[in-house]
A and B are shown apart, each in its own frame.
Chain A
Amino acid sequence: MTERFLSAYNNFVLPFLFGMGFVLIYCLIAMIRIWLQLSADDKKKVLLSLVNPKILLKDIRDLFCDCLFHVKLWKRNKLLGYMHSSIAFGWFMLIVVGHIECFCYFPGRLKTFYYPIFFRFFVAESQSTMQGSFFFFLMDFFLLMVLSGIVLAIIKRIRSRLFGMRRTTNLSLTDLIGLYSLWAIFPLRLFAEGFTADIAGGSFLTKSLNIVFHSFLGNHLNMLPTWWAYSIALGVFMFILPFTRYMHIPSEIMLIPLRNAGIQISNPRKGLAKVMVYTCPSCGVCIDACPMGITKRNNRDATVYLNRQLKRKNEGRIEEISDKCLLCGKCGAVCQVQIPGDKLRIAQRSLRKYDVSPDYSTIDAASLTPRAEGKVLYFAGCMTALTPAISKAMESILRKAGVDYEFMDKDGGLCCGRPLWMAGRLEEAKQLIAKNEELINGSGATTLLVSCPICYRVFKERYKLGDIRVVHHTVYIDELIAAGKLKVESADELSYVFHDPCELGRGCGIYDQPREVISRMGKLVEADKSHDESICCGGSMGSLTLGFEKRQAMTENALRNLTSENPDAIVTACPLCRSTFARYADRPVEDIAEIVDKKTL
């Protein structure tokens, strides 16, 4: 390889250099601002995580798996996965191999940003070597990889269903400019390298192109405009990048160490939340996932649009979107970059100022404290109080199993605090949690048995209960049966489908125990979408503004999903899901405790 120009410079590199400089400075300033917004505790956590080899390894693994290979997308849809990883990984390798090539031949030129990028323009092939043709092949191979991804991306714009997506995001104008400039970069690169293939060498792609279209590509007068076009496409893309969804590329690199350090969202506009909002690639997977999407008008309330409005600081829409959400958490479960849409919304709700704030200090804890020394304390919760069939069944099961228990809120008790938490009234929720902690810790119980997943989640996540074990009734029943304390009388021929309540499944990760229990009672069938993709019943306490009528379509949609295998009965483990489904279902809807009570001795 020899250099074609002594100066090793041509004006066409300027658009690229400006774009590159702009994006680097922008990202650096953004990074510093985010860092300053983190609380002292969070900063400490992040710094400690960077010296912890275990977390550091996870960071590196996530960087490769998420940013380059898009492993989560591959699992979702092969074509979608290939499309994204071919562009990301292919482009990354083009840059890396380009730099290695430059390093091998002209290491002195590495310090100019542009030289490795426009390597083929500045060099001439003096003799063909194995090493040279190896690099040529690699460069052409990865270019082909990216080009195939671009072709798929164009097809996806026209027919997204081929990629397993029913609906995609409506792109904003800047997003479209970014998209088109990104699409333009690689064909232009192919073209530009096709011109220089007879000078700087090339492989199966560029060389062949040069030979086939020799009358055009062989004419070196056409060469410079094409390199200019390539450089301008790169420059435009980089200039517009911070204002488009492509900001997710640098953002995700920052998000991964922050997330792995275990810090939590505190303000929806600052620190971690801000990185998350900018990491949203607007892919639109959450639009199909959102249970509200069954009503077409609600499509614009998916997390992808919340993120967009947060970037635009459109307060009216931000409030509307965050108040409407059911907080089922499904968008977070399907999200490619794991943005917890529910937590973002709760943080947004917590910003609101109220003139009246509840005060629970007057509630006399002593009179409410149950006596349960060494016993199991059963907390039914508010929702179970409205579905007494569940608490009756639960009591009957406990008696049959010979468990010494105490019913904590038989005559009504305090709320667990989760509904307040979901409404964003965090301080009030903490007060209520403290009150309940006083009651439960004062009871002397060994186990806290809960039959409501809403309560269960907050007990698990927020309560400090010392040695008291918190257990959901699905898990407890499973244990009782496994230990032989409950005898199954007769498994019948009926088939059951299990509905994963949002708070139990996605919220607490309990999927297997209820299924284990049901399969002992009869035939277990699965819904069309289940486990972490189960569809919210529509009755959730999470939504503040959705009225009764507006939820009907969601409930009916969830029921259609559950009855795809035509089961004889629907089983759930949440009193709220149970009463919501019972309203519209065409077959019996029962809590897991009721089924078990009927079928055990």
Chain B
Amino acid sequence: MDFGFGIAPSSSINLDKVDLSLYRKVKEVEPDIERCMACGSCSATCPAAKFSGMSVRKVILGLQRGQQKEVRKMLSNCMLCGKCNMVCPRGINTRHLILSVCRYFDMKEEQK
């Protein structure tokens, strides 16, 4: 049906070259990733933090910014103990989130 007018397509230009494919893929399997409010409870409890600087908050942030290398480094000492899962005030299933990142992380993509 033509009413004689339409909505102009968005003319905003995204100059960000960040690769968000991993973030999108993880969001698909664990949509709760969007609920993170970056409170840092997970960072405070993480036993791997002192070894590799692991923090689920930073992992999520890194994914949103396309910082795959930093994410991989942080994940390298995660022991999947589930403390972050228990303290998360937003009820995010962090263990599944971490496993999904590990699973869909594309090594070849990172080396490019």
Contact = CB atoms under 8 A, between A and B. Distances in A.
Given A386-B86, A547-B32, A352 B76 contact: no
B93 A356 contact: no
A413 B52 CA distance: 14
A289 interface: no
Contact of A541 (B45, B51, B82): B82
A382 B105 contact: no
Interface string A463-485: 00000000000000000000000
A357 B102 contact: yes
Q: Which of A355, A414, A579 has the most CB of B within 10 A?
A: A355
Q: Which of B82, B88, B96 has the most CB of A within 10 A?
A: B82
A419 interface: yes
Contacts of B103: 352-355
B20 interface: no
Contacts of A386: 45, 83, 86-87
B79 interface: yes
Contacts of A413: 47
B81 A548 contact: no
B86 A358 contact: no
B87 A423 contact: no
A549 B79 contact: no
Given A356-B72, A358-B76, A547-B32, A412 B47 contact: yes
Given A414-B79, A420-B79, A547-B32, A382 B47 contact: yes
A544 B96 CA distance: 5
B1 interface: no
Interface string B86-112: 111001110110010111111100000
B97 to A, nearest CB: 10
B51 A362 contact: yes
Interface string A90-128: 000000000000000000000000000000000000000
Contacts of B96: 544-545
B67 interface: no
B43 interface: no
A362 B50 CA distance: 12
Nearest to A540: B82
A415 interface: yes
A217 to B, nearest CB: 66
B79 A432 contact: yes
Contacts, number: 91
B103 to A, nearest CB: 5
Given A357-B102, A362-B51, A413-B47, A548 B83 contact: no
B101 A382 contact: no
Contacts of B106: 355
Interface string A523-546: 000000000000000010100111
A143 interface: no
A360 interface: yes
B49 to A, nearest CB: 9
B79 A419 contact: yes
B40 to A, nearest CB: 15
Contacts of B83: 382-383, 385-386
Contacts of A539: 86
Contacts of A414: 47, 79
Q: Which of B45, B72, B83 has the most CB of A within 10 A?
A: B83
Contacts of A425: 80
B82 A359 contact: no
A355 B107 contact: yes
A415 B93 contact: no
A362 B47 CA distance: 15
Interface in A117-171: none
B77 interface: yes
B27 to A, nearest CB: 14
B60 interface: no
Contact of B80 (A412, A420, A545, A576): A420
B51 A363 contact: yes
A238 B91 CA distance: 52
Interface string A280-317: 00000000000000000000000000000000000000
Contacts of A382: 47, 79, 81-83
A547 B50 CA distance: 27
B56 interface: no
Interface string A409-424: 0001111010110010
Contacts of B32: 547
Given A356-B75, A382-B81, A548 B102 contact: no
B31 to A, nearest CB: 10
Nearest to A323: B96
Nearest to A364: B51
Interface string B44-78: 01010011100000000000000000001001111
29 contacts: A352-B103, A355-B105, A355-B106, A355-B107, A356-B75, A356-B107, A358-B75, A358-B77, A358-B78, A358-B79, A362-B51, A362-B77, A363-B77, A383-B86, A385-B45, A385-B47, A385-B83, A386-B86, A412-B50, A414-B79, A415-B47, A417-B79, A419-B79, A419-B81, A419-B82, A541-B82, A547-B91, A548-B92, A576-B86
Interface of A: 352-360, 362-363, 382-383, 385-386, 412-415, 417, 419-420, 423, 425, 432, 539, 541, 544-549, 576, 579
Given A415-B79, A423-B80, 12 more contacts: A353-B103, A362-B52, A363-B51, A382-B79, A383-B81, A413-B47, A423-B95, A432-B79, A541-B95, A544-B99, A545-B96, A547-B32
Q: Which 7 A-B pairs have the closest CB atoms?
A: A548-B91, A415-B79, A415-B81, A356-B102, A382-B81, A355-B105, A354-B102
